[in-house]
Amino acid sequence: MTRSGVVHVIGIGPGERSLMTPRACEILARCEVIVGYSGYLALIADLTAGKDTYALPLGEEVGRARLALDQARRGRTVGVVSSGDPGIYGMAGVVLELLEGLPEADRPEVLVVPGLSAVNAAAALLGAPLGHDFAVISLSDLLTPWELIEKRLSAAAAADFVVVLLNPKSRQRTWQLGRACDLILCQRAGETPVGIVRNAYRPEQAVEVTTLGQLPAAAVDMFTTVIVGNSQTRCFQSRLVTPRGIVRSP
């Protein structure tokens, strides 16, 4: 029987300190052990000074979650640092899945601290693209069959959802965004406004507005969030607005 600690899976938001919640800061301060991807830990180095810090490379999500749970099973208070919101495609799921695999008597407490996700950040910088129903789809087919991603893209387009595309491109993933555009174009006009946000709230931030027809040619990488408007979305002064009907209603 081990003395049981706690794992806090902490969302630090897009990166800019003013968008990290006080709760995330307070809980980080309370943690004895910090685990995270080295790139994110660098953003909060001043908040973790003097703590046992484990910086693991990108791609080692399972290793980070396992390390955090091991430390908590020794009775320690552990913080797993996640950029954005750990609940949205983030570390919360990885930690909970591994927790499920542990013997019941040996499971530390796991708590999730929400943060601003890339979805919230990109939407704010674009104005109000998410004023109505939307679907969030990752274009990464590393762990998800591409056929399922296609099915989701077509369904979201057919039902006139605003579509948020995460992980639209990487060095290895080059053709998926073009194919996604083709699928959405089957159901939506080429003039549909599209917002492209790269490195939201970071020093290299870039916000661009284009159209669905032009999207495949746009500068997009793995730090980019793409928001494709629905049939009602308007572009105005380089912003996107998806009306909910409030302004026009009698």
Among positions 162-221, residues that touch a second copy (CB under 8 A) are none
Q: Binders of a second copy: how many residues, by CB under 8 A? A: 78
Smaller CB separation from a second copy, 181 or 240: 240
Burial category of 170 from C-beta neighbours within 10 Å (exposed 0-12, middle 13-18, buried 19 and up)? middle
Q: Does 85 bind a second copy (CB under 8 A)?
A: yes
Smaller CB separation from a second copy, 178 or 236: 236
CB of 59 to a second copy, least distance (A): 10
Rounded Cα–Cα distance for residues 169 and 135 (Å): 18
Binding segment for a second copy (CB under 8 A), chosen from 82-90, 178-186, 202-210, 212-220, is 82-90
Smaller CB separation from a second copy, 2 or 144: 144
Rounded Cα–Cα distance for residues 153 and 183 (Å): 7
CB of 82 to a second copy, least distance (A): 11
Rounded Cα–Cα distance for residues 77 and 4 (Å): 9
CB of 4 to a second copy, least distance (A): 13
**In the numeric block, which tokens belong to residue 200?**
């939201």
Please give the residues from 94 up to 153 whose contact with a second copy meets the rule CB under 8 A: 94-98, 100-101, 107, 110, 112-117, 120-121, 123-125, 127-138, 143-144, 148-149, 151-152
Q: Note the helical H segments in 106-188.
A: 118-126, 146-158, 176-185
Rounded Cα–Cα distance for residues 152 and 138 (Å): 10
Please give the residues from 3 up to 62 whose contact with a second copy meets the rule CB under 8 A: 11, 13, 16-23, 26, 61-62
| Exposure string over 97-110, b if 16+ CB within 10 A, otherwise e | ebbeeeeeeebbeb
**Which residues, 6+ apart, have CB-to-CB distance to 209 below 8 Å?**
126, 193, 194, 195, 196, 235, 238, 239, 240
CB of 98 to a second copy, least distance (A): 6
Rounded Cα–Cα distance for residues 157 and 53 (Å): 44
CB of 12 to a second copy, least distance (A): 11
CA gyration radius, the chain: 20
CB of 151 to a second copy, least distance (A): 5
Smaller CB separation from a second copy, 110 or 220: 110
Binding segment for a second copy (CB under 8 A), chosen from 31-39, 173-181, 189-197, 242-250, is 242-250
